[in-house]
Amino acid sequence: MQHHTPQSGSGTPPQAGRRSEHFASHVFNEARMLQYLTTEAYQSVKNAIFAGSKIERKMADQVAEAMKTWAISMGATHYTHWFQPLTGATAEKHDAFFDLLPDGRAIEKFGGGQLVQQEPDASSFPSGGIRNTFEARGYTAWDPTSPAFIYGSTLCIPTVFVSYTGEALDNKTPLLRALHAVDQAATAVARYFDKTVAKVNATLGWEQEYFLVDAALAQSRPDLTLAGRTLVGQAAAKGQQLDDHYFGVIPGRAFRFMRDLEAECMQLGIPVKTRHNEVAPNQFELAPVFEEANLAVDHNLLLMDLMEKVAERHGLKVLFHEKPFAGINGSGKHNNWSLSTDTGTNLLSPGSTPMKNLQFLTFFVNTIKAVDTYEELLRASIASASNDHRLGANEAPPAIISIFIGSQLTQVLDELEGVSKGKLSPEEKTELKLNVVGKIPEILLDNTDRNRTSPFAFTGNKFEIRGVGARANCAKPMTVLNTIVARQLTAFREEVDALIEKKKLKKDEAIFNVLREYIKSSKRIRFDGDGYSDQWEKEAARRKLSNNRSTPDALKVLTAPESLALFAETGVLTEKEIRARQEVELETYILQTQIEGRVLSELVYGSIIPATIAYQNSLLANIRGMKEVYGAAHKPLTEAQLGILEQLAEHLQGARKKTDAMTEARKRANAMNDLGKKARAYCEAVLPYFEEIRYHCDRLERLVSEKEWPLAKYRELLFIK
Ligand code: ADP
Ligand code: MG
């Protein structure tokens, strides 16, 4: 069992020629299914994708046979179930298509049974106690909504990962449930406007930020290799102050890496589109065309794996950590999200008719209302030890969730708020339709004037969650967002129907009435100002918005009664599953902080103190020599050396003291049994030492000679050519 994808060997070498010719050449997609499947089997897969229906065993056998035939024709020898354990990465288990009998005959191993279900030995994946409780093993089961693909010589089959008793042990299962919930709820509401709508898909377009560093240099830094970020390091004389990296010329090495990566993405059907430099030196971004959310999540995970593989070939290391370097912007992964019907309508896109715009307003206002009600849960969905360093660091959105909608839409909502209650007069209706709803332009000006400090922004025809970490699995925020919107749309539908039936209102009157109430009651979540300012923090507190700065704080809401009710009602997670998830997240937080603490101790004692002492010795030798030559007259001549010696001693002592104190704090935290308390202890009693230790180490880096310093410097790490 390998954690972290990439399959055996490297991928197929990128081919020359036009990109589009190779697009999805390694994917068992619709075109290939038509080619390899009987009509009956094809229909059965299509139904499973559209309606979530089960695929019968007979059909599964046919699909497995077809997949195998295709995969072998492409040179594949193995297959694997590819899944997303709660660690956030991906995992897989490889099996050969054929086995040899002792007499040399080959027997076939890959049938419908292997396609639909497999039982990896999953005892080492985190499950938050579920597996223990049930003494159950984990099963992986095919997700037909995400097409199988070939990487290297392996057919990879995207799967869910569940316990024997059906509990989700992965990030994909709840996402699929949330997408199903939002499909049901949004379809019911969309049918107010268009009776022909039969399905609504959530769409996701992520924007992946990352750093590239030289692999050999990274190798010399235990903090980068073990923790994914630098725990010490003096800022380079030149950082991002010139802003000359953003949209600048991509350095040659990075460019060759990107070209290679994009070719592989094309073969695997990942529709990458844009690439550019980011604000910080060595920082880049890659974004695809948006896709159905489940597929987009799989593609993002696959991309991250591919990036690591391809980077290796180019002697580079990719850093996905949200804050790999102090004093330089970190990396995020904006999640652009919308809802789209099977009739081709983006439900969050303003239209050309009042009816289209009423539909737009319905989904727009309901999303705002959902985020207002469950803002704390959305914050929890992006919480992680590494993202804590970024949220609220005046480069990423704050830990307070608010929504930016721009001045034009604010005005529209203000006007709608003034609509009178109950039945509307014919004049009022005309006024509303023509001058309020009818006035919403198809292209919003604010779309170009984005508020970069907002964590949840409307950007013309979609919402954008900005706080997602670069390392994160988008499935987490996508599960929460789609769940809360599903819950909200269901409530909306019930309220509107009640007004139509009991108060005898017309449909559009009822919709206006409910929207007006939502606009009023969700006002506090809307904020167009500077999200980085201190005033906003105070104002947000006055509005009773949550401000959970750390992961242990943010995760608490997961098991609040309202959260449990939400997940149960929408069928996304049972109480047992949520409690298990909270446990896993807390454990992950503790482990990551613990690893960083250990690495930091090792760096201080194993590298920094010895280097400092070596330099001290060379200064002492120099002073002794000066004394020998100049006798008593050496004093004024060795003033600088003595001064440096004193500073070295001061920071050496500081680094040692703080490191020892940190180790003591870790021991106290480790002795705690309650996970919540332990996580809090790591956050409040251990973590603060990191900065203090770093302060002394960075001073030492400035004092000790370059020759003696054992770690690659920021200057070397940050400027690849
Ligand atoms: P930019 O932000 O560079 O101006 P766009 O506004 O077109 O570009 O899109 C930004 C990101 O939003 C892209 O990654 C794109 O895939 C994604 N996106 C665009 N429309 C949608 C949508 N309807 N649903 C989800 N994501 C979308
Ligand atoms: Mg963006």
Q: Looking at the structure, give the CATH architecture of the domain made up of residues 180-231+240-573.
A: 2-Layer Sandwich (3.30)
Given a cut of 50, the residues of the chain with pLDDT beneath it are 1-17, 133-136
Q: What are phi and psi of 106, to 5 degrees?
A: -90, 135
> What's the CA gap between 365 and 398, in Å, rounded?
23
Rounded Cα–Cα distance for residues 168 and 164 (Å): 10
Q: Give the position, in ligand 1's atom list, of the atom nearest the Cα of 204.
A: 25
Query: Separation of 336 CA from ligand 1 center, angstroms?
Result: 6
Q: Beta strand 149-151 with 272-277: parallel, antiparallel or unpaired?
A: unpaired
Name residues whose C-beta falls within 8 Å of residue 587's C-beta, 6 or more positions apart in sequence: 126, 128, 675
The residue assigned the tokens 């508020």 is 451
Q: What is the CA(300)–ligand 1 centre distance, in A?
A: 15
Question: How many angstroms separate the CA atoms of 666 and 669, rounded?
Answer: 5
The pLDDT score that the predictor gives to residue 12 is: 46
Q: What is the pLDDT of residue 7?
A: 39
Q: How far apart (Å, rounded) are the C-alpha atoms in residues 240 and 536?
A: 27
**Cα-flanking dihedrals φ and ψ of residue 178, to 5°?**
-65, -40
**Cα–Cα distance between 557 and 281 in angstroms, integer?**
37
Q: Are 340 and 359 in contact (CB under 8 A)?
A: no
Here the tokens at position 357 are 């715009």
DSSP assignment of 169-202: -BSHHHHHHHHHHHHHHHHHHHTTT-TT---EEE
In the three-class reduction of DSSP (H, G, I as helix; E, B as strand; rest coil), residue 80 is classed as strand
Ligand 1 centroid to Cα of residue 261, in Å, is 21
CA distances, 134 to each of 125, 163, 247, 568, 585 (Å):
15, 8, 53, 20, 20
- CA 698 to CA 241: how far, in whole Å? 20
Atom of ligand 1 nearest to the CA of 340: 23
Best residue among 204, 290, 367 to mutate for probing ligand 1, ranked by most atoms within 8 Å of CB: 290
Distance 306 CA to ligand 1 centre (A): 22
Q: What is the pLDDT of residue 15?
A: 47
Q: How many Cβ atoms from other residues are within 10 Å of residue 529's Cβ?
A: 14
CATH architecture for residues 588-717: Up-down Bundle (1.20)
CA distances from 288 to 114, 256, 576, 606 (A): 32, 18, 36, 43
Residue whose pair of structure tokens reads 């923790």 in the numeric block: 227
- Alpha carbon of 120 to those of 161, 195, 341: distances in Å? 9, 45, 37
Q: Which atom of ligand 1 is nearest to the CA of 206?
A: 14
Distances in whole angstroms, Cα of residue 479 to Cα of each of 172, 261, 288, 458: 9, 28, 20, 19
Q: Which residues line ligand 1 (CB under 6 A)?
A: 203-205, 207, 287, 289-290, 336-338, 346, 459, 461-462
Residue that is written with structure tokens 């896709």 in the block: 291
> Which residue has the CA at smallest separation from atom 17 of ligand 1?
205
Asked if 310 and 212 touch (Cβ cutoff 8 Å), the reply is no
The ligand 1 atom at the shortest distance from the C-alpha of residue 348 is 23
Cα 403 to ligand 1 centre (Å): 17
Tokens of 535: 């005033």
Residue 693: name the closest of 614, 599, 618 by CA. 599
Ligand nearest to the CA of 447: 1
Hey, how many other C-beta atoms are within 10 angstroms of the C-beta on 533? 13
C-alpha 216/C-alpha 296 separation (Å) is: 32
Alpha carbons 482 and 109: distance in angstroms, whole number? 38
Output the pLDDT for position 5: 40
Q: Give phi and psi for 325, each to the nearest 5.
A: -130, 135
Closest-CA residue, ligand 1 atom 6, reads 459
- The pair of three-digit structure tokens given for residue 89, joined into one six-digit string: 């990465």
Query: Which amino acid residue places its CA nearest to atom 7 of ligand 1?
Result: 289
Residue of the CA atom closest to atom 22 of ligand 1: 338
* Domain boundaries defined on the chain: 19-165, 180-231+240-573, 588-717
Cβ atoms of 27 and 149 closer than 8 Å: yes
3-state secondary structure 546-615: CCCCCHHHHHHHHHCHHHHHHHHHHCCCCHHHHHHHHHHHHHHHHHHHHHHHHHHHHHHHHHHHHHHHHH
Separation of CA 274 and ligand 1 centre (Å): 11
What pLDDT, on a 0 to 100 scale, did the predictor assign at position 3?
Answer: 39
Nearest CA to ligand 1 atom 13: 205
Ion ligand 2 residues within 5 Å by Cβ: 334
Atom of ligand 1 nearest to the CA of 336: 26
How is residue 319 written in tokens? 């850093």
Q: Does domain 19-165 have CATH number 3.30.70.2190?
A: no
For the CA of 205, the nearest ligand: 1
3-state class (DSSP) for residue 107? strand
And the tokens for 303?
A: 């991309």
pLDDT given for residue 92 in this prediction: 82
How far apart (Å, rounded) are the C-alpha atoms in residues 702 and 232?
12
Pocket residue to mutate for ligand 1, from 462, 464, 478, most atoms within 8 A of Cβ:
462
**What is the pLDDT, as a whole number, of residue 245?**
58
Output the CA 458–ligand 1 centroid distance in Å.
Answer: 11
Instruction: Report yes or no: 139 and 118 within 8 Å, Cβ to Cβ.
Output: yes
User: Which ligand 1 atom sits nearest the alpha carbon of residue 459?
Assistant: 6
Determine which residue's CA is closest to atom 4 belonging to ligand 1.
448
For residue 271, the ligand closest to its alpha carbon is 1
The alpha carbon of 390 and the centre of ligand 2 are apart by a number of angstroms equal to 16
Q: Pairing mode, if any, of strands 463-465 and 154-163?
A: unpaired
Distance 307 CA to ligand 1 centre (A): 22
Instruction: Find the farthest-apart pair of alpha carbons in the chain and give their distance in angstroms, rounded.
Output: 106
176: CA distance to ligand 1 center in Å?
22
Q: Which two tokens stand for residue 166?
A: 């059906």
- Say if residues 365 and 511 touch (Cβ distance below 8 Å): no
- The minimum-distance atom of ligand 1 relative to the CA of 287 is 14
Angle, in degrees to the nearest 10, between helices 293-313 and 475-502: 170
The alpha carbon of 560 and the centre of ligand 2 are apart by a number of angstroms equal to: 31
